[in-house]
Amino acid sequence: MKSLAELQAIKDKMKDKVVLREGGNETRVVVGMATCGIAAGARPVLNALVESVNELGLSDKVTVSQTGCIGICQFEPVVEVFEPGKEKVTYVKMTAEKAKEVAEAHLQGGKVLTEYTLNEGEL
Amino acid sequence: MKELSLNILDVAENSVKAGASLTQIQIEEDDEKLVLSIIDDGCGMSEEVVKAVIDPFYTTRTTRKVGLGVPLLKLAAEQTEGSLTVTSKTKEEFPDNHGTCVVASFNKKHLDFTPLGDVVSTMTTLIQGHPDTDFLFTHKIGEKEVSLDTRELRAVLGDVSLGEYEVIKWIEDYLKEQYAE
C-alpha cells in the first residue's frame, strides 16, 4: 500500500533536482487540452509524452505542459514543440504511439518528424 | 466524449481557469445512479452567465465563439434521462464564499450511459497540468470510497512540485491501489 512516507522519500530524492532545473535553456512541449483536444484524444498523448520524456532521461531539458485551444481544432490532438533559437514545430492528429516516436526522434534525437507536422497547405 | 472521465477533465479545467484554489471532484454511484459534482472556489459567474454557459454558443474563449464543455456534459447526462445543474456565486457578491458547482446525474442502466472510463488518468492529468492548485477527489461506489487530497500531499512535499513525474506516478499508483482494494 502506498504511504505518505513514500512520498517523503520522493521529496528527499527530488530536492537536488529542483535546484538543477533553474537553467531556463529548455525545450517546451505543449499539448492542447481544451474541449476539442480532449475529445480528440489529447489525454493519452500528453501522458505518453510525460512518460517518454522521463524514460528517456530528458526531464532536465524538456518540460511538457498543457494549454487551451490552439485554434486548429480539426487537427487535434495538437502538440507544439518550442526549442530555444528554433522555429516552432506543430505536430497534428497525434496519438500516444506517434508521441513516443516524437519523443525519441525529435526531443532526444533532434530530428523533426515531418510526416506528422502541419503543412501550411492544409490550413 | 468517449468517457465521462474526459468530460470531468474538461469541465474541471474551467474551475482552474476561474482561479480556484481548491477544486472538488465528487463521484457517488450505486447500481442505478451516478452523480458527479465539480465544486470550485473560483471567481464564480453571474446568473446571466450561468444561463449562457449551458448554451453551446456561449464561451469566454477568444479563439472561437463556441464553448462545448458544459453542453457536452449536459448532453451526456440528459441522454440517460438524467440532468445537469450549474449554480454559482460571484466573488464580487460573495467575497468569502464564492465559486461554482456543477452537478450532473446519470441513470447508469440507460442504454446511452457513457462509461466513466479512466478517472485516475483524468486526476493525474489535472494535477500534472496545474500543480499549484489543489484538488480533492472522492469516488464513492456503494460502501467503498476512493479519495485523494492534494493538500495533504503538498504538506509532505513542501517545495517539490506535485507535477514532478515521480509524484504523478505515485498518485497514479495510490489511486489504483485504492480501486483494487
Residues in A closer than 8 angstroms to B69, CB to CB, are 35
The reply to whether residue B63 touches residue A70, judged by beta carbons under 8 angstroms, is: yes
Contacts of A10 in chain B (CB under 8 A): 157, 160, 164, 166-167, 170
For residue A116, give how far its alpha carbon lies from the nearest alpha carbon of chain B (Å): 24
pLDDT > 80? residue A83: yes
Residue A29 near chain B (CB below 8 Å) = no
Question: Is A69 close to B64, i.e. CB distance below 8 A?
Answer: yes
Inter-chain residue contact B10 with A54, CB threshold 8 Å:
no
**CA of A107 vs chain B CAs: smallest distance (Å):** 17
pLDDT band of B86, cuts 50, 70, 90 = very high
Average pLDDT over residues B92-97: 94
CB contact under 8 A, A4 and B72: no
Q: What angle do CA A73, B25, B43 make, to 5 degrees?
A: 75
pTM of the model: 0.92
A38 reaches B (C-beta below 8 A): yes
Domain locations in chain B? 4-180
- Give the best residue of B133, B157, B175, B179 to mutate against chain A (max A CB count within 10 A): B157
Average pLDDT value for residue range A68-96: 95
**C-alpha closest to that of B128 among B177, B176, B161, B175:** B161
Residue B29 Cα, gap to closest chain A Cα (Å): 24
Q: Where are the beta strands (DSSP E) in chain B?
A: 22-29, 33-40, 83-89, 99-107, 134-141, 144-149
Pick B4-180's CATH classification: 3.90.700, 3.90.1010, 3.40.50, 3.30.565: 3.30.565
Q: Which of A11, A59, A64 lies at the smallest CB-CB distance from B158?
A: A11
* pLDDT of residue B146 exceeding 80: yes
CB burial of residue B146 (10 Å; 0-12, 13-18, 19+): buried
The listed CATH number (3.40.50.1220, 3.40.50.1260, 1.10.3720.10, 3.40.30.10) that belongs to domain A23-122 = 3.40.30.10
What is the predicted pLDDT for the residue at B64?
Answer: 54
List pLDDT tens digits, range B116-125. Answer: 999 999 999 9
How close B98 gets to chain A, by Cα (Å)? 24
- Say what the ipTM of the complex is: 0.89
In the A/B pair of chains, how many CB contacts fall below 8 A?
Answer: 89
- CA distances to A22, A29, A66, A107 from A17, in Å: 9, 20, 22, 20
* Least confident stretch, A4-13, A20-29, B13-22: A20-29
Q: Do A2 and B153 touch (CB under 8 A)?
A: no
Q: Classify each residue of A19-51 as buried b or exposed e, where b means 16 or more C-beta atoms within 10 Å of its C-beta.
A: eeeeeeebbebbbbbbbbbbbbbbbbbbbbbbb
pLDDT grade for A14, boundaries at 50, 70 and 90: confident
CA-based nearest distance B81→chain A, Å: 22
Are the beta carbons of B6 and A43 separated by less than 8 Å? yes
For residue B115, pLDDT beyond 60? yes
Where do the domains of chain A lie?
23-122
Q: Which of A37, A30, A36 is nearest to A81 (CA)?
A: A30
Q: Which residues in chain A have Cβ-Cβ distances shorter than 8 Å to B72?
A: 35, 39
pLDDT exceeds 70 at position A37:
yes
